[in-house]
Structure 1
Amino acid sequence: MKIQANTIRPGNVLSHQGKQWSVLKIQLIQPGKGGAFIQVEMRDIDSGNKTNERWRTQDTVEKLDVRQHDCQYLFADGDSFTFMDKETFDQFPMSRDELGDQALYLQDGMDVTVDFIEGRPVSMNLPGQVTLEVTECDAVVKGQTATSSYKPGVLENGVRVMIPPFIEAGTRIVVSTADGTYVERAKD
């Protein structure tokens, strides 16, 4: 089915230049002059090769119909991540290359959706948000709280994120899995 380029999300499977591609990362770029475009990092499902493509936001691309299975993330063993189909209880591995940066947000027992093409897992879709703990962050600079400034912080999974000045190390926060940005302080 044809979709607009600005609706592409990580985990989508696209048909481009006669190949099947799994989307790993997207970045919407709005230059000061000219129209906006989307930069898409994707991996060839068959060969594993990665490429970057740019489309204008109004361009259309072919999104492949895939079977989606509700699965549960079980554990990681090196660069292999094991999932279980919640209907059949079949377990299957996926590699770090197949998952891309999404692997950073996996948590034990997390419910995810895995896309299958011809019985083979090709990509994974995370929940929209995850809760993680801030392990380290810079101290607040006096007077900085009057503005809506952010400071860098590191999450328990090693990802760097910009957080508000009132967040301290040890605080649990909600992070968007689509772009890795701070959403809110977690309600414990």
Structure 2
Amino acid sequence: MISAGDFRNGVTFDMDGDVFQIIEFQHVKPGKGAAFVRTKIRNVITGSVTDKTFNPSDKFPTAYIERRDMQYLYQDGSLYYFMDTETYEQEPIDASKLDDNFKFVKENMEVKVLSYKGNIFGVEPPFFVELEITKTDPGFKGDTATNATKPAVLETGAEIKVPLFIEEGTMVRIDTRTGEYMERA
């Protein structure tokens, strides 16, 4: 059992026969009245996102999510194919089950496939990936304002903001959770 006061991002729990995952949470202690927990939760099976408020003492059974290491192979239409690294079985997953951060995954990359009672509901890429910049504008000499950035396209087709000194062909490290440039690789 998990209490609402212990909610953290990524926690999964069972509520009313459905499995939910915490996307965002906020513990609120108003000046008057009792404290509460404001959350944004996603139904892991349907993918729907809702805002819900909980009493910190509310208790829910923990839902155990299976995370399997798989290798991303290729895309065919709206299906993405993954291979189990232990059994070498291929698993097609529909594009609707992939989050926005999947745009940082390239072929042959290791990912975690998330399932609940055999139903696959998501793919979790590594927290950090190293990708090559394929297209960006050249930086200008003397353009040294603090935190100045420019758009750049990665080898996967994703677009991010990078510092002015980054050029085409540079390998960079990306945080897939935020989609931000971290450093040169």
Task: Classify the TM-score, shorter chain.
Answer: 0.7 to 0.9
Contact persistence 1:22–1:123 (CA under 8 A): no
* Deviations 1:66-110 (CA, angstroms, capped at 9, x unpaired): 222221112111111111222222221111111121331222211
Deviation at 1:168, TM superposition (A): 1.1
Alignment length (residue pairs):
172
Asked if 1:164 is matched to 2:163, the reply is yes
Larger radius of gyration: 2
The residue aligned with 2:49 is: 51
Equivalents in 1 of 2:52, 2:157: separation in Å? 29
TM-score (norm. length: structure 1): 0.72
The alignment-based identity, stated in percent, is 30
The residue aligned with 1:2 is: 2
- The amino acid that maps onto 1:50 is S
Deviation at 1:63, TM superposition (A): 5.3
Contact persistence 2:12–2:20 (CA under 8 A): yes
The residue aligned with 1:32 is: none
Equivalents in 1 of 2:41, 2:71: separation in Å? 25
- The amino acid that maps onto 2:136 is C
For the structure 1 residues 147 and 106, does the alpha-carbon distance in structure 2 shift closer, same or farther, using more than 3 Å as the test?
closer
TM-align CA RMSD: 3.3
Equivalents in 2 of 1:163, 1:103: separation in Å? 19
Deviation at 1:140, TM superposition (A): 2.3
Please list, as runs of the form range in 1=range in 2, the aligned pairs for 1:4-23 lying within 5 A after superposition: 4-5=6-7, 7-9=8-10, 13-16=12-15, 18-21=17-20
Asked if 1:71 is matched to 2:70, the reply is yes
The residue aligned with 1:34 is: none
TM-score (norm. length: structure 2): 0.73
Equivalents in 2 of 1:164, 1:176: separation in Å? 15
For the structure 1 residues 18 and 184, does the alpha-carbon distance in structure 2 shift closer, same or farther, using more than 3 Å as the test?
same
- The amino acid that maps onto 2:130 is T
Unaligned runs of 5+ in 2: 27-36
The residue aligned with 1:181 is: 180
For the structure 1 residues 132 and 117, does the alpha-carbon distance in structure 2 shift closer, same or farther, using more than 3 Å as the test?
same
The residue aligned with 1:42 is: 42
The residue aligned with 1:95 is: 94
Unaligned runs of 5+ in 1: 30-36
